[in-house]
Chains A and B, each alone.
Chain A
């Protein structure tokens, strides 16, 4: 039967970044609604935070406004908050995943690690396919835009 040892490997995603900013500032940018709305969404999207209760069991609701006027509602529930160290939330609207973000002070810099674990491989593949389709479309628009600029 299928081994369960590396059971999460095919449905998770990890990214990390060393920021040239102290951990207090990175934490603030992540946890204050007026800040997070400035960087959360994909390129060309704006973001409205309607609720952000950063306590275990607290709701986090936001709306991403797409460039074409489409609104995408995102709902999550925070499950763990350790100030200046760790945020864990469950994304409860589709796609379902658990995100764990850790903050590690390195002098005046901060190492941020972002881990997303999807509910299933099936869900993850679906997300990736959907995203890729959107992304392909978006890149074409960008290319066309650049091309038209060159023509002028």
Chain B
């Protein structure tokens, strides 16, 4: 079964997040990227492949070299998901606010403005 590739899978791994961080400012040679990590070059190649499949990087070949360029537009989608979850907590506070109004009425008679 092939795992569905999406932006969340791309950023779910710390090595991949580090790779994205390295190329965010500009394209980098895959070999240069690999030198920054203690894991094997094959492992880095696999991460690069996953990032490419997820659409977060584009690979440009120049002779025998491969350069990774970041395509980070999709990451804003993640930010909007997180915002939705934050709204869930805002609603919890809405409910607490409503409940506090009821409590005030019960305790002090009329609700104080």
Contacts and interface: CB of A to CB of B under 8 A. Distances in A.
Interface string B67-106: 0000000000010011011101111110111111101100
A128 B90 CA distance: 15
Contacts of A122: 12-13
B60 interface: no
Contacts, number: 92
Interface in B8-22: 8, 11-14, 17-18, 21
B18 A129 contact: no
Contacts of B99: 29, 35, 38-39
A131 B84 contact: yes
Interface residues of A, number: 35
Contact of A13 (B18, B86, B113): B86
Interface string B1-36: 000000010011110011001000000000000001
A47 B107 CA distance: 23
Contact of A15 (B82, B86, B113): B86
B87 to A, nearest CB: 8
Contacts of B17: 2, 10, 121
B61 interface: no
B109 to A, nearest CB: 14
A116 B88 CA distance: 13
7 contacts: A38-B99, A39-B95, A121-B12, A125-B78, A128-B81, A128-B82, A132-B85
Given A1-B36, A2-B14, 9 more contacts: A2-B21, A13-B89, A17-B97, A19-B97, A20-B101, A26-B100, A29-B100, A39-B95, A128-B84
Interface of A: 1-3, 10, 13, 15, 17, 19-21, 25-26, 28-30, 35, 38-40, 42-43, 108, 112, 114, 116, 121-122, 124-125, 127-129, 131-132, 135
Interface of B: 8, 11-14, 17-18, 21, 36-37, 78, 81-82, 84-86, 88-93, 95-101, 103-104, 107, 112-113
